[in-house]
Structures are given as structure tokens and as C-alpha cells.
Chains A and B, each alone.
Chain A
Amino acid sequence: MIATHHIFILSALLLSVGVFMLLTKRNAILILMGLELILNAANLNLIAFNQRYADALAGEAMAVFVIVLAVCEAAVGVAIILQAYRHYATAVPDQISELKDPA
């Protein structure tokens, strides 16, 4: 049985790596991957907490939901990236900067 706090540390690392990827990766696909890491860090937390309260399987159930959600999210995200790629001929968010004033 792995101690809960080790899992927490792993989860925190995973979250950090996810956030790092989210903020620094240039390609949208990799950013989406960072997002997946963050979701999985949350899943790890859910499972770790379920260890402490083992009589209910609420944590695992939630994690399963999250995985399903992550699949949906990845599908939608990849679809958006594909559409953006089609439209802008690039998948680099830095080059798509229409969310600001033209000036």
C-alpha cells in the first residue's frame, strides 16, 4: 500500500508538469496533452482520497467520469485544433492572436 501523501506528491508533480506544458508548449496538441496531464493529476487525487474512505467507491466512480470527460474533451479539443489548423494553417496558438485589439 503506497502512502497517500506520496500519491499527492506525484499528483502535484503531474499537475505541475501539466501546467508547465499548458503554458509553455507551442503546439496546440501538446497543450491539449498538458491538459490531459492536469485531469489525470486530479484523477490521482480522487483515487488517493478514496483510499482513505474505502467504504465508498465515490472517488473511483468520479475518476471514471473524469476519464470519460477527458476523452470527450480530447475529442472536442482535437476537433477545434483541426478546425483552427484548417482556418489559420497553423496549430501554434502564438500565431493566432485575434483575441486582442487590432492595434
Chain B
Amino acid sequence: MNVASTDWNAWVPIALALPLVSFVVSFWMGPRYGWLVPLMATALLLAGWVCTTVILVDHSAGTSHFAVPWFSLGTDVIPIGWWLSPRSVTMLWVVYTISLLVHVYSIGYMAGEGGIARYFAWLGFFTFAMGGLVVSSNLLVTFCCWELVGLSSYRLIGHWHQQPAAGAAATKAFLVNRLGDIGLLVALMLLWSRAGTLDMPALTAMALSEETKTAVGLCVLLALAGKSAQFPLLHWLPDAMAGPTPVSALIHAATMVAAGVYLFVQLHFLFSADALAVAAVVGLLTLFVGGWGALTQFDVKKILAYSTISQLGLMVAGVALASPEAGFAHLFTHAFFKAGLFLGAGALIHAVSRHGHAPQQDIRHMGGLWQSHRLVLVCFAVCAASLAGMPLTSGFLSKEGLLLHVRHHSFYFGVMATASFVTTLYSARMVFYLLSPTPQAAATHPVPAIMQLPLFVLSVGSLFIGLSASPLSIQSWWPVFDAIESAPWVMVVSLAVLVVGVGVAWRLYRHRPTATLHARWVPQTWLDAAQKHIAVTPALQASRLTHHADRRWLDGVLHAASYGYVTCSFVIGWVDRVLIDGWVTTVTHAAKGGGKLFRSLVNGKIQSYLAWGMLALLSFMVWMLYQLAHR
């Protein structure tokens, strides 16, 4: 297999290295020049963003592949390199753009917080890991980056590690993701055994059997369910709100959860029709669970988290049912408006929270900010409109693209239209609460300009110009959609859904009901209970059982073995001591005794010598007489 491919592009390694440099330097500078870290990290990210922009301009059409051998196993060579396609360079650019804006925003948001160096270091590392995942041409490298993305999200969700909730949320996110990662690992093993390569360009050219594609597809689906919070692995995402708000923006828009959908888009060719059908069902389920969850919450960040879940479900269903490009277009627009929503929510939370208190995140207590925070609210509303799919926004166009693709399947079309309705409903609900003149929020702080700037950029990106030159057609900037003929009735349906959605929301939420739903209506409750019953309790029981088995059986065997061993040793020791040593000591004692006896004759006393001489003489004479007598 020829792994070398020499479309060298120096911008790619530079773009990937800059956030990594930021990671290292932030840790290095942190202790002494903490104040410099945000500026340095942002500057490095800006340089990285410039690189990705250059790459984007260079590769707007056509692909390029660069690979060098990384290591070899026997005769198999694992390459490392990048595979640039219009899709991957776009994603890379989105990742860096969102990350840059989050960096800029964090300068203001995290000012005065502890652990700034650590925070910016892991932001950089997060960006690096996601960038590597996006451009990598080899699935093994992709997997490594996938894990690094999980690690960075763990570190960032748990950034405020003094809060037990943050630590628990980080652990939960990490463990649930691990469950999904098993799927990716198994998928890689399957591909390695069936296709013999993990190189994506090589895999695209390969014809795999349907069974293999079903198996690989289902495994990848498990992986993306963990990473992209698909049903049933979605309950970690609302908990992950314990992290700083800019981190949530980054996780939801560009790096963490986008990774799953992006991988689905990239590996769409490895899915069989069966696997795609399963993915569609999972996506649609997620869509409704997320939408329902968003309607039950009053915590603004949790609403956004559930809305992300529902949008991710929409993307997965879209990739499975419509086309990878349609799903990817929605991923693209979602990145902007969701990052904008989170940064806006962060700004509002910053505005109403009192220093030294728990942040105020309840939309029932965040009203009355229109006079003081007009720009933030307008930007937030624009992003929410994009989420709801209002005309003139990018969300409208990407949703249009998805609906156009499924318009011939009346069932799926109906489901997606209903989902749009739910999305409109919760978006409108959130905006109604936040725009209301009352209740006046307790204390309002100004939002610094450095936090308003990224918000403004993102809300502009959420308008139609973020995706297309025309406010009504997605086709101009995304050539892949040119093949789809537009159908005006689809647009009419989606506008009707929008109007109905806003109308229903107005009817339901005009008076801002404050009653909290019972916990049993919140999806989180059932999913946590399911997690407890399906995973945690059996795991605890299994561990208790293994503990018992360990104590009882394993230790028993060990004890028996050790007792036997000790007994044998005693027997051997006895034989050694008594029989073998005994014989030896007997000989030595005999020799010693004999020596002593004969030595005692030589006692230095003349008389005893004489006595012995006499005795000898006497014996000799007795013997002589005896001889004479018996002659």
C-alpha cells in the first residue's frame, strides 16, 4: 500500500500547531504572567484563524491529500496526514472561527476568575484536537483526536473544580463519552480487519460488503451518539452546563458535539441503508427528546443545551435521511447561531448575576434588560430566530435544505416539520421571557465591549449571508445543492410552521407562566434514572459481586495455596533441619567428640602420661600372657 502522498500544504501544520503552542505556552507562562495569557492565547488563535482562512480560500474546490508514514506494524504502515476537501476545510475554518470568538469573549468573561492560564491552555488544546480530527486523513489519528477532544471537554467542563457539580458533570460527560468511544474503537477494528486500511481516501475507493457496512455504521453511530449527545447518551450535555459559558459555546458549536456529526458526515459512505435507517430513528428520537427537554427548563443554559440536543438530532436525521451535505450545512449554520446564543446567554448571566453569588440563570428572573443591554438582546434574538428558522437567517436556509431533501417522504417530512414547530416553540418561549420588561433584574452590570464584539459577529454570521448570498436560496454558495430543484411549497410549509409555532408560543408564554414542571416531565430525570438502573446499579452490583468473588474465591484459593506452601515449607524445613543437618551435625559432633577425647589424653600432666603408659604396658603384658597361655 502506498501511503505517501505529497500534497504538502504548510498552512495546515502551522494552523494545527498554533493552538498547541498556546496550550504549552499558557501553562508555562501561567504562574508568572497570568495577565498575559488571555492576550497571548487569543493572538495565537488569531494567527491560526488566518491560516485556516488561507486554507479555506485555497481549497474551496477539489481535494488534496498528504500523508507520511507514522509507524509500521510488520508490513502494515500507518500513515499520518491530512485530507482536505471543501467540507473539511470549511469545518476547520468554522472550528477556528468559533474558537477565536470564544477566546476573545473569554478575555472579558473570565476576567478576575481563577485558573485563567489553565482555562486558556485547554481552550487551545481543545481547538488543536478538533482541528486534528477535522483534517486527519487516517481514522486512527482521528480516533486519537477524538479522545483528546473528550479529554479537553472533561477538563473544561470541570474547570470550576471547587464546585462538586462541575466535577460530577465532567466525570459524567467523560464516562458517557467513553461508552461511545468503544463504538468507534470497534468500528476501527472492523475496518482494519475487513478493509485492511484506516486511510479515508483509500476507504472511499473501496467496496465493502453490506454486512460490514452495517456493523461499522452501527458502531460509528454509537460513537457519535456519545459525542454528539444522541439518544440515549444525551443526558451528559445538560449537566455539562456546569462549565464556564464560553466553554459551553465552544462545545456546542464547534468542537465537542460537532465532532460526532462531522464524523458521521465524513464516514457517511461507510453506512449501509440499514445503519442509516437506525441513525435516522436515533436522530428523530433525539430531536423530540431535546425539544421536549428545552420546553421544560427555565435555566437558560439548560434550554440551550436541550436545543443543541434537538438540533444535533436534526442533523443526524438529516445526514441519514437527506444527504451529508444538507446535514453539514445545518452543522455549519448551527455553529454560528448556537455559539451566539451561548455567548449572549453568558453576557446576560454576567449582567444579572451579583458578584459572589451563584450565577442567575433562570429566565424568569432575567427580564427587564432591554433598556440597558439592547445590543446583547438583539444579537441573542437574531441567533434565536436563526435557531427557529426565521426567514433571512442562515437557520432558515439550512433547514430548507434538509426539508428539500426529504420532501418526497411524507412521513419524514412531517416529522421534521413537527420538529421545526417544537424548535420554534422553545426558541420563541426563551426570547419572550428574556425580552419581557418585567421582572426587573435585581442588579445589572454592563457587558464589556470585548464580550459584545464576538456576539455581534456571530449574530451577523447567523443571518443568511453566513451561508448564502441570497436570503431565499441555499444554492448559490453550496454547489452541492445545485442538483436539488427548489420547491416553493416546501418554503411555504416551513413558513407556515414558523408562524404557527410563534403563534402557539405567544398564546402559551405571553404571560410568562412561572410554574415549574414536575421533575418527571424532564427528560433528564428519566435518562438519569435509566442510567442508574441500566448502567450504574448493575455496575455497582457487578463490582460488589466481583469483590465478593475476589474475597471469597480468589482470596480463598490464594489463602489455600499460601497455607499449603507454608506447610510444605515447614515439612521441608523439618527434613532439612532434622535429617540432613542432623546427619551432618552428628558427624561433626562425633569428630569433635573424638577429638576432645583424644585431646583430653594430652593434658600436659606427667602423671597421667605415666598412668597411660602403665596401662599400655599392663595391657601388653596381659596380651602376652594370654598368648603364652594359649600357645
Residues in A lying within 8 Å of B, measured CB to CB:
19, 22-24, 31, 93-94, 96-101
Q: Is the beta-carbon distance between B607 and A23 smaller than 8 angstroms? A: yes
Inter-chain CA distance A94–B603, complex, in Å, is 10
B605 CB-CB contact with A under 8 Å: yes
Q: Pick from A19, A24, A93, A101: contact of B606, CB below 8 A.
A: A93
11 A-B residue pairs with CB within 8 Å: A19-B614, A22-B607, A93-B607, A94-B605, A96-B606, A97-B604, A98-B604, A99-B602, A99-B604, A99-B609, A100-B603
Q: Is the beta-carbon distance between A22 and B603 smaller than 8 angstroms? A: no
| Nearest CB in chain B: distance from A16 CB, A | 11
Inter-chain CA distance A23–B599, complex, in Å, is 20
Q: Given A100-B602, A101-B602, are A94 and B607 also a contact pair (CB < 8 Å)?
A: yes
Residues in B lying within 8 Å of A, measured CB to CB:
599, 602-607, 609-611, 614
- Work out how many contacts link A and B, with CB atoms closer than 8 A: 29
Inter-chain CA distance A99–B602, complex, in Å, is 8
Q: Which residues of B contact A19 (CB under 8 A)?
A: 614
Q: Is the beta-carbon distance between A97 and B614 smaller than 8 angstroms? A: no
Q: Which residues of B contact A100 (CB under 8 A)?
A: 602-604
3 nearest A-B pairs in the assembled complex, by CB-CB distance: A100-B604, A97-B604, A99-B604
Q: Which residues of B contact A24 (CB under 8 A)?
A: 607
Q: Is the beta-carbon distance between A99 and B606 smaller than 8 angstroms? A: yes
Q: Is the beta-carbon distance between B607 and A31 smaller than 8 angstroms? A: yes
Inter-chain CA distance A102–B565, complex, in Å, is 51
Inter-chain CA distance A101–B603, complex, in Å, is 8
Inter-chain CA distance A23–B610, complex, in Å, is 7
Q: Which residues of A contact B602 (CB under 8 A)?
A: 99-101
Q: Pick from A96, A98, A101: contact of B599, CB below 8 A.
A: A101
Inter-chain CA distance A90–B614, complex, in Å, is 25
Q: Which residues of A contact B606 (CB under 8 A)?
A: 93, 96, 99
| Nearest CB in chain A: distance from B594 CB, A | 16
| Nearest CB in chain A: distance from B608 CB, A | 9
Inter-chain CA distance A99–B196, complex, in Å, is 98
Inter-chain CA distance A94–B605, complex, in Å, is 6
Inter-chain CA distance A23–B612, complex, in Å, is 10
Inter-chain CA distance A71–B604, complex, in Å, is 28
Q: Which residues of A contact B603 (CB under 8 A)?
A: 97, 100
Q: Which residues of A contact B610 (CB under 8 A)?
A: 22-23
Q: Which residues of B contact A99 (CB under 8 A)?
A: 602, 604-606, 609
Q: Is the beta-carbon distance between B605 and A97 smaller than 8 angstroms? A: yes
Q: Which residues of B contact A22 (CB under 8 A)?
A: 607, 610
Inter-chain CA distance A97–B604, complex, in Å, is 4
Q: Is the beta-carbon distance between B605 and A93 smaller than 8 angstroms? A: yes
**Which single residue of chain A is at the shortest CB-CB distance from B609?**
A99
Inter-chain CA distance A33–B614, complex, in Å, is 17
Inter-chain CA distance A61–B611, complex, in Å, is 31
- Interface-centre pick from B599, B603, B604, B614 (highest chain A CB count, 10 A): B604
**Which single residue of chain B is at the shortest CB-CB distance from A102?**
B604
| Nearest CB in chain A: distance from B621 CB, A | 12
Q: Is the beta-carbon distance between B614 and A23 smaller than 8 angstroms? A: yes
| Nearest CB in chain A: distance from B604 CB, A | 3
Inter-chain CA distance A1–B610, complex, in Å, is 37
Q: Which residues of A contact B614 (CB under 8 A)?
A: 19, 23
Q: Which residues of A contact B604 (CB under 8 A)?
A: 97-100
**Which single residue of chain B is at the shortest CB-CB distance from A95?**
B605
Q: Which residues of B contact A96 (CB under 8 A)?
A: 606
Inter-chain CA distance A98–B614, complex, in Å, is 21
Inter-chain CA distance A100–B607, complex, in Å, is 13
| Nearest CB in chain A: distance from B32 CB, A | 79
**Which single residue of chain B is at the shortest CB-CB distance from A97?**
B604
Inter-chain CA distance A74–B607, complex, in Å, is 18
Q: Which residues of B contact A97 (CB under 8 A)?
A: 603-605
Inter-chain CA distance A31–B607, complex, in Å, is 9
